[in-house]
Every structure is written in C-alpha cells, then in structure tokens.
Copies of this chain bind each other. A is one copy, B any other.
Amino acid sequence: MDKMRRSERVLLLTQRLLARPGELFSLGDFAGSLGAAKSSLSEDLALVSEAVARLGVGRIETLTGAAGGVRYLPVMTGAAIADLAEDLCRRLAEPERVLPGGFLYLTDLVFHPALAAAVGTAFATRFTPVQPQCVLTVETKGIPLALMTARSLGVPLAVARHGSRPSEGPAVSINYVSGSSGRVQSMALPRRAIPAGSRVLIVDDFMKAGGTSLGMVDLVREVGGEVAGVAVLVATAEPEKKLVDTYDTLVVLEAGPPYRAEPGPWVKEIRRF
C-alpha cells in the first residue's frame, strides 16, 4: 500500500513539474496537496529527478532559501541535439524552399512551435554551464527561439526593437550595420529589460556577416551587462569571418540554390560523446 502511494505521488509530481517547465513550485505547496511529509517528498523528488536524468529529458533543480522551491528545466542529450541539427539540414535542402530570386524560405521553421521548443532546449543545454541570467534577441524571427531558450533556462527574455516606443519607457538605443543589407539600422531596448551586471545570452535565427549580433553585443555592454554567448539557428558558410568573435550555430548553410547545410562545429563535437 505504501509502495503504491509512493508511485502515485511520483506520477503526480512528474506531471506537475513537466507540465510547466521553468516554473518554481514551493515544497510546502507540494507537501500539502499530496498529503505527504516533507521528508517523504524529498525522497519522491529524488526518484523523479533520477528518472528525468536517466531519460535525458532534463533536470530537476531545487533552490533553497525563502524564495526557494523546485522546478523542471528541459535538457537534451548530445545525440538528440545532433538528430535535431541533421533533421534541420534535411529540411533546409527541400527544393520547394527556394523562392523567386533564389531566396531560402525559413519562416515556417522559425515559427514552428515544436521546433522552436527543441532548438531552445538545445541552446539552453549548451549554455547552462555559463548560467545566463537573461536571453536577448531582436525582433522578429528570433523571438520564438529566444523565448523557448529563456523558458528552458528558467530566465526572462528581453527583445530589442527597431525604434523606441513611448509604451516601453526610457530606452537604450544603438546603431549597427546590417551585414546583409549594408545599411545602418538602429535597435532599442527598454532600460528596465536587462538589469545592470546581468550575464546575457544572445539568440537569433540567422547570421550572415554578424552585424545584427554585434549590435546586440554592443547593446548588452551599453546597459552594463556581460555577454554569456551568441547562439544562432542558421549561419552562412560565407563570409567565414563574422563580425562577432565567437558564436554557436546549430547548422551551417552553404551558398545556393541549391542549398546544402551541415551541423555546426559544436554539434559535431558533442556527437562524438
């Protein structure tokens, strides 16, 4: 009977935690709603945590102190990240993606909810060791990936926009040269979006010369933050030298059409483990 109750509790805990990734649940609330002592609950959580880790779908994090609690953060295995990158390469090579003028249609991919979630989890897995405190992107197509990365890391999202708005309050604005168009553009971020001293992970959908990413790096420094990394979904093979020193891309795209892509260097590296 006792065994039975434990397995039920474990199932309920798993469902609560996995249904709302990144959200902090108080141990007291759990103990109350499950009718269990806190000591039993700790043992239950250890079981859930072990099973989650064994399956390779994430980790259970327990934060101590007054604002403490427990939460589920999604994580992917190296093999799953490699599969995701290879699947994306196959999709980028689909001939029906080539648009009039030879452009490559990516819009359905960057706005695909399940794909955005998987990519966000892959980026979070990559950057968890440096503990970003915030994710930054610039409107528009990077938003789904950046949101999902922030969710998997359990941190807030900040979005820079082209021009400041009265409804966003005092803003920090910078000019940057978009590498693809060669034009000077500006982006603005509400002052209160990134607290000074934050470690910020920059996320975007596409990198050609790297001008937009460099703009975001400047913006982070301007608000007194620190860049924890730059993660992009697709980077072009040419130019090989980008305007940012370091970045991680899920896939590298050769010039086309026809378009051919391969997994990024860090993906190739983790696949070896």
The reply to whether A103 and B166 form a contact with Cβ atoms under 8 Å apart is: yes
Complex CA gap A136/B121 in Å reads: 24
Contacts A11-B51, A14-B14, A190-B107 given; does A170 touch B100 at CB 8 Å: yes
How many residues belonging to A are interface residues under a CB distance threshold of 8 Å?
A: 57
The reply to whether A113 and B157 form a contact with Cβ atoms under 8 Å apart is: yes
Within 8 A of B (CB), among A91-116: 99-101, 103-108, 111-114, 116
The reply to whether A20 and B117 form a contact with Cβ atoms under 8 Å apart is: yes
Is A31 in contact with chain B by the CB < 8 A criterion? no
- Which of A19, A21, A23, A58 has the most B CB atoms < 10 Å from its CB? A19
Within 8 A of B (CB), among A131-182: 139-140, 143-144, 147-148, 150-151, 156-159, 161, 166-170
Contacts A107-B190, A139-B140, A151-B113 given; does A74 touch B19 at CB 8 Å: yes
Given contacts A20-B114, A22-B113, A99-B168, 11 further A-B contacts (CB under 8 A): A11-B11, A11-B48, A19-B55, A19-B58, A103-B166, A105-B169, A105-B190, A108-B192, A113-B150, A113-B156, A144-B157
Residues on A close to B: CB < 8 A?
7, 10-12, 14-16, 18-23, 48, 51-52, 55, 57-58, 74, 99-101, 103-108, 111-114, 116-118, 139-140, 143-144, 147-148, 150-151, 156-159, 161, 166-170, 190, 192-193
Q: Which residue of B lies closest to A52 (CB)?
A: B15
